[in-house]
Chains A and B, each alone.
Chain A
Amino acid sequence: GAVVSQHPSWVICKSGTSVKIECRSLDFQATTMFWYRQFPKQSLMLMATSNEGSKATYEQGVEKDKFLINHASLTLSTLTVTSAHPEDSSFYICSASNLLQETQYFGPGTRLLVL
């Protein structure tokens, strides 16, 4: 149980385009989903926390107009990187939890390369 999927697993796009990443909890309802960013050989940095049906809470320094987060259902959250630039290239990982869990369950990650 507690499986989280992400789609796509990797994406290459041109600078200036927008990229949408999906995060799904497959076998449980996720009241909360988290989006992280990870640079090579570095740790995970939390970007934002999203609760179903409400606006996401962004961490300091994360541009909410740049990284649009939608958590429209208890099983799906999306992260849209708008007008992507090469510096947005990174590994994006989502996680999901519900009120009954103390742990977060992580997706496999999405590698984004912006040319």
Chain B
Amino acid sequence: SQQGEEDPQALSIQEGENATMNCSYKTSINNLQWYRQNSGRGLVHLILIRSNEREKHSGRLRVTLDTSKKSSSLLITASRAADTASYFCATVVPGGSEKLVFGKGMKLTVNP
């Protein structure tokens, strides 16, 4: 079953602009993770934010988490053409399982 829902589902921007992707989920979580997938390839882990954290940074990435609204956002600043990919949020729910429940994904296109 899928838990997360990314918004928007597709985004096209110019190089240098910022890209913001939102993710909503339905249940309580241990953590929320963002992954990137280049076309036809595996997933690359970008960043993890725990349920007791509100914001996290990694390079050009900024992730926020609002557990009261069950939502997260991923901000990519100063985008590059190489950022073109699909982005997925995934949650780990409490209960001891390490299972990731993925959202539907969002296709980001950064035009040079």
Contacts and interface: CB of A to CB of B under 8 A. Distances in A.
Given A102-B31, A102-B48, A103-B33, A44 B99 contact: no
Given A102-B31, A103-B33, A103-B48, A44 B102 contact: yes
Interface stretch (A14-22, A64-72, A81-89, A107-115): A107-115
A102 B92 CA distance: 9
A104 B45 CA distance: 8
A103 B88 contact: no
Nearest to A109: B42
B100 A104 contact: yes
Nearest to B30: A102
Contacts of A104: 45, 98, 100
B44 interface: yes
Interface string B16-50: 00000000000000010101000011111100100
A93 B100 CA distance: 13
Given A42-B104, A43-B102, A93 B97 contact: no
A49 B88 contact: no
A4 B48 CA distance: 19
Interface of B: 1-2, 31, 33, 35, 40-45, 48, 88, 92, 97-105
6 contacts: A44-B102, A46-B100, A102-B48, A103-B48, A105-B45, A106-B35
